[in-house]
Structure 1
Amino acid sequence: MTWSEIRDLHVEFLTEQGFRPKVDDEGDIHFRFEGRHHFIMETQEDTYFHLLFPNFYPLANETEVEAAALAASAASRVTKVAKVYLNPALDNVCASVELLVAEPTDVHDHFLRCLGMLGTATGQFLEEMTARLAAARQAIRPA
């Protein structure tokens, strides 16, 4: 099955679920969920599904990059299926769900749960990040 055929199946499903999907210039499917931008990424395999929540936490300095790397690791460790990671430029944090499926439409049965897992992972990240940044600020305060 080609990406075009798979994309059409996902767009139809999202539309039926009340989302307003759009295909972007790169061929990925863009939609909003709870006001946030999400993408179903184009893949070259019909048995691989990649749901991306990109750039949800900007990083401004080395202290934030360090804290974010540890917070992302902690969030990924305790959350099923979802991953949180720093983008290659180390200036933002992303989250994704990646699944192997027998058929491209198999993911539709789990789609809302996948969005929930992204929410859980990003929530875990934000909690951990807040604690790490607070500890870093505390460490640099003069006694």
Structure 2
Amino acid sequence: MLQALLNGELAAARAATGVPLTDWFVSDDITWLWQMRLDQIAADRRAADWVACAAVAVPDETVVGVGGYHGPPDSAGMVELSYGVDPDCRRRGYARAMVRELLRRAAGEPDVSTVRASISPQNAASLATIAGFDFEHVGEQWDEVDGTEFLFERPAV
């Protein structure tokens, strides 16, 4: 499915998922993510179980976003959240639902001890999304794409 999305083959990707996808999934806004995730999986097959899961709205079963982690747990047991919502589906609680589900999964994984979120200080929506999930601001980092990011962590359980 990721290769179909990357190639702009929305019909093929829709057939692979069996649920409706919006045009956002093959737009320039997101195809960079599909390429990055395909490269990750090619380099480390374990990544396939951790990156780029579809977020499906219930009960209509429409894919409204993508969620996962930046990769499998590192040697210290840390995973970093990754989530995005189709702009046409935002402000409906989907991002918070994704974070809640990603935290639930992390809590059930024996190799995960810490969950991280890295968020641009200007990304008020993502900062609000993680509020209430007991994340602690632990520092900052420089990201080549996003610039300064605040780092937040919490125990997986």
TM score, norm. by length of structure 2: 0.29
Rg bigger for which structure? Answer: 1
Q: Which has the higher contact order (CA 8 A, sep 6+)?
A: 1
Q: TM (normalized to structure 1)?
A: 0.30
